[in-house]
Amino acid sequence: MSTPAPPPAEPPAEPPAEPPVGPATEPVCPRHPDRVSYVRCQRCERPVCPECQRQASVGVQCVDCVREQARGMRTVRTAFGGQPGTGTPVVTIGIVIVCVIVYVIELVPGTDMILRFGFSPTVADTQPYRFLTSAFLHSMSPAHILFNMIVLWQVGPYLEAQFGRIRYAALYLMCAIGGSVGYLALANPADPRSWSSVAVGASGAVFGLFGALLVVQRRLGQSSQGVLIFIGINAVLGFTLANVAWQAHLGGLLTGAAMGLVLAAPVKPSQRLVVQVVGTWVVLGAMVAISLWKLSTALY
């Protein structure tokens, strides 16, 4: 009887692998694997290098956690739809830059910018673009553009922050058109000097911003004394100084107040955009209607 063969001997167990030593054991930043960091994010506890660190209330957080929290945060807005603290007043700066560039072009002999783009009732029906372009032109005197830009800078950034850039840009453009409409509506067709004179300047639009500012301050419960004094002084100057288009100032002021009522209307946030868009079109339609009525009754 044969003896069974003994089972094959098992290979000797290999010793457990030793953990690697050296740089591989050091914590590295997930976004920059070549950077060793012993600082960890307080939220996800991953290593974070100095470039990816963001200061938190306690310790630091990584950029990924900061972005994730920002996506979940509700955007803070003013009562009129703007975002407070958005930084540089881009629209106001843009308006100033455009006005300065146009003024420099005016100084070039032969450009005739005022005659080509200034507003005059005689060409209101055939060249309606002048209702807007005239607001970016100024007389050859440096004092004209300097005064308008200084006043614009005083009030523009505040309204831009309150309304937001798009609403503020719409406000300014509407006020610029409103200034020309006011000049047209109050011009006398029987007086050649009144009907054929050319008006330029951003003052109508700037007056419109003050009209909107009045509404905003009333809406926020703030004092309007300073704005009323400014408007009163300029109203007196408009009637006493020569070559001042007080009609454009009045038209811009009324347009700005109307737009202020639209943009600062006390409605629910869900209804704000609809009210503002529809209200803006209503104000624009009213200005078109006034212009067409004036032109239809003019005596040529």
Would you name the residues annotated as active-site residues? Answer: 203, 249
Q: Give φ, ψ of 124 to 5 degrees.
A: -65, -35
Pick from 248, 182, 168: nearest CA to 213: 168
The three state secondary structure string of 112-171 is: CHHHHHCECHHHCCCCCCHHHHHHHCCCCCHHHHHHHHHHHHHHHHHHHHHHCHHHHHHH
- Helix residue spans in 14-140 (DSSP H): 63-72, 90-106, 113-117, 130-133
Q: Using the 8-state DSSP alphabet, how is residue 218 labeled?
A: H
Q: Which amino acid is at 212?
A: A
Contact 233, 210 (CB under 8 A): no
Contact 123, 130 (CB under 8 A): yes
Please give the Cα distance from 80 to 292 (Å, whole number). 32
Please give the Cα distance from 265 to 143 (Å, whole number). 36
- At residue 50, the 3 state secondary structure works out as helix
- Interhelix angle 246-263/269-297, rounded to 10 degrees, is 150
Please give the Cα distance from 261 to 268 (Å, whole number). 15
- At residue 40, the 3 state secondary structure works out as strand
The tokens for 117 are 């783009």
Please give the Cα distance from 184 to 247 (Å, whole number). 8
Q: Using the 8-state DSSP alphabet, how is residue 211 labeled?
A: H
